Chain A
Amino acid sequence: MRKVLKLFTVYAKLYLKMVIQHKLGIVFFTLGKLARFLFLFFMIYLVFSKTNLVKGYSFNQMIIFYLTFNVVDTTAQLLFREVYRFRPQVVSGSFDLILLKPHHPFLRILVGGVDFLDLILLIPYILILIYFIIQLPNISLLLIAGYLLLVANSLIIATAFHIAVLALAILTTEVDHAIMVYRDLTSLGRFPMEIYREPIRAVFTFVIPVGIMMSFPPKALLNLLSPASYLLSLFASSLLLTLSLKLWNLALKKYQSWGG
């Protein structure tokens, strides 16, 4: 475990050095992400300037949904940035070199590129989220514990999705932006699932569990989640992680090295 942590740190440091080389990129990506966050925040404000409640949710509650999405999404991006660069490694054959290394390939291709740029935004997101959570009436430690448990659970689901994207990159050369499909799918979770009509709501809650990932944690915080939903959430993450690991193993078996 110590060796794994050491390697993780080494890769993270190397990635940081690489990022620092692109100063213009640091400025513009941070500005762009900040602008996107502020625009959507403004849109929620605009929505609530026209009505008091949206599907039974108040402004503060809607902001908690939005911020929870941002925290989960940004943490996943921070940890799994290297997944965005995996497919070219398969196509060019440099994945062979990673497989030859005496450590699990996930250490390189899944968490081998910790994106510190996302940390710049993650910290303020968390602080604003704490501010809005404190404003909630009837908040308790139990509800916060449930919320944190489900946020951790969402990150397991995010991990499963990223592993599946890695496997897809090996299994088919036809998909070059599966990760962007994942991003677009999860972006539906910026707002409570109740705003979507059936069957979209059911599909994005149970078939592609965006709702479980992004909407269940804030619902737990607002005391709107049944114990069965907690269990469903934990079951979904375990199932998805198991399936994604099986898919990865299958992909590795199918992988044809470029050699050289």
Chain B
Amino acid sequence: MKKYLAVLTVSFKEYFVYRINFILWRFRVVLNIIIPLFLWSAVLDRNPVIGDYDRTQFVSYLIYGNLIGTFVFGTRTFDISSDINDGKIINTLLKPVSFFNYHFAKEMADKLINLFFAVFELYLIVWFFKLQLIPPNNPILFLPIFLNSVLISYFINLTLSFLGFWTTEVWPIRFVFMVLLSFVAGNYFPLDIIPQPIYKLIMVTPFPYMFYLPAKILISHENPLLPTTSGYAGQSIGQLILFSYIWLFASYFLARLVWRKGIKSFSFWGR
């Protein structure tokens, strides 16, 4: 455990070596929430309710969702694919540490830094533009779903990195994944405001379970577990939780399968 705490600490320190770079990175994070926030605010100026959302709920969805997103989507797994491609992975494999724990420690450093600064950045946005938020609801239901979203994201990112065992062109595949993640996960609007057939199609994919579902649970006024609850655009919360777990296990087994196949086929000259 001590070893992985050291990896975590070193990873933290790495971020603060290039300070201007770090500030610009945080600036980019802030820019990314500005477009959906103001675009939908402009719509809400004319139309006070969109779908089932009033202004406070809609803005809360975007703010909480982005806070969740900074933790869930923050990743250092792209280092793995480049390490595979240039053979550096051998160094990690030879170290007396678990490959997965080592990378999970680095991943957690990225996520924690993201979350720490995002809290301040989003607070500043909320304070500066005097945005009204609803207090977060359903924490007991939120926590396991949030944990699922973190793990689903981590396992999918690992799987994508392991593709480096077979190709040097991992980045284009990751680019498509990131584009899908940006839009289909619900970063730009709550998914249940789109037409039902498209919504149902999206809910079969893993993307909404990384952003939309945890954010939606946080802003739901009613307890989603009560039988009287209207549900989520025609789907019961039980169904969505089930899908979240199915994707958790599917992404875990896929990452494990790709790793096992990849490491068997991997060869590199000595270093």
Among B35-43, B233-241, B250-258, the stretch that binds chain A is B35-43
Among B110-118, B145-153, B170-178, the stretch that binds chain A is B170-178
Q: How many residues of A contact B (CB 8 A)?
A: 42
**A39 proximal to B (CB < 8 A):** yes
A185→B169 CA distance, assembly (Å): 28
The residue in chain B whose Cβ has the minimal distance to the Cβ of A23 is B169
The residue in chain A whose Cβ has the minimal distance to the Cβ of B194 is A46
Contact of B169 among A24, A52, A174, A187 (CB under 8 A): A24
Is A28 touching B175 in the complex (CB atoms < 8 A)? yes
A187→B45 CA distance, assembly (Å): 23
**A207 proximal to B (CB < 8 A):** no
Chain B hits for A40, CB < 8 A: 183
* Per-position 1/0 for A155-181, Cβ under 8 A of B: 000000000000000001111111011
Check A54/B176 contact, CB under 8 A, given A177-B24, A177-B25, A190-B35. no
**B132 proximal to A (CB < 8 A):** no
10-54 of chain A: CB within 8 A of chain B:
22, 24-25, 27-29, 31-33, 35-36, 39-40, 43, 46-47, 50-54
Is A197 touching B38 in the complex (CB atoms < 8 A)? yes
**A147 proximal to B (CB < 8 A):** no
The residue in chain A whose Cβ has the minimal distance to the Cβ of B24 is A181
Chain A hits for B32, CB < 8 A: 184
Interchain pairs with CB closer than 8 A, number: 106
Contact of B35 among A33, A53, A188 (CB under 8 A): A188
Is A28 touching B176 in the complex (CB atoms < 8 A)? yes
Is A180 touching B50 in the complex (CB atoms < 8 A)? no
Is A46 touching B193 in the complex (CB atoms < 8 A)? yes
The residue in chain B whose Cβ has the minimal distance to the Cβ of A168 is B20
A141→B129 CA distance, assembly (Å): 41
The residue in chain B whose Cβ has the minimal distance to the Cβ of A196 is B38
Check A32/B172 contact, CB under 8 A, given A51-B47, A195-B38, A196-B34. yes
**A200 proximal to B (CB < 8 A):** yes
Is A51 touching B179 in the complex (CB atoms < 8 A)? no
**B230 proximal to A (CB < 8 A):** no
Is B35 touching A191 in the complex (CB atoms < 8 A)? yes
A125→B24 CA distance, assembly (Å): 30
* Per-position 1/0 for B158-177, Cβ under 8 A of A: 00000000010101110110
* Per-position 1/0 for B183-198, Cβ under 8 A of A: 1100011000110000
**B98 proximal to A (CB < 8 A):** no
**A55 proximal to B (CB < 8 A):** yes
Chain B hits for A33, CB < 8 A: 179
A52→B137 CA distance, assembly (Å): 33
Is A47 touching B43 in the complex (CB atoms < 8 A)? yes
Is B169 touching A22 in the complex (CB atoms < 8 A)? yes
Least distance between A37 CB and chain B CB atoms (Å): 10
Is B28 touching A188 in the complex (CB atoms < 8 A)? no
Chain A hits for B169, CB < 8 A: 22, 24-25, 28
A172→B18 CA distance, assembly (Å): 10
Check A50/B129 contact, CB under 8 A, given A29-B172, A181-B28, A188-B35. no
Is A32 touching B31 in the complex (CB atoms < 8 A)? no
Chain A hits for B25, CB < 8 A: 177
Is A32 touching B175 in the complex (CB atoms < 8 A)? yes
Name A's B-contacting residues (CB within 8 A).
Answer: 22, 24-25, 27-29, 31-33, 35-36, 39-40, 43, 46-47, 50-55, 172-178, 180-181, 184-185, 187-188, 190-191, 194-197, 200
The 5 closest A-B pairs by CB, nearest first: A28-B172, A39-B183, A174-B20, A32-B176, A25-B172
Given A35-B176, A39-B184, A54-B39, 20 extra CB contacts under 8 A: A24-B173, A25-B169, A27-B172, A35-B179, A35-B180, A36-B182, A39-B182, A43-B188, A46-B189, A46-B194, A47-B39, A50-B193, A51-B46, A52-B46, A54-B42, A55-B42, A173-B18, A187-B35, A188-B34, A196-B38
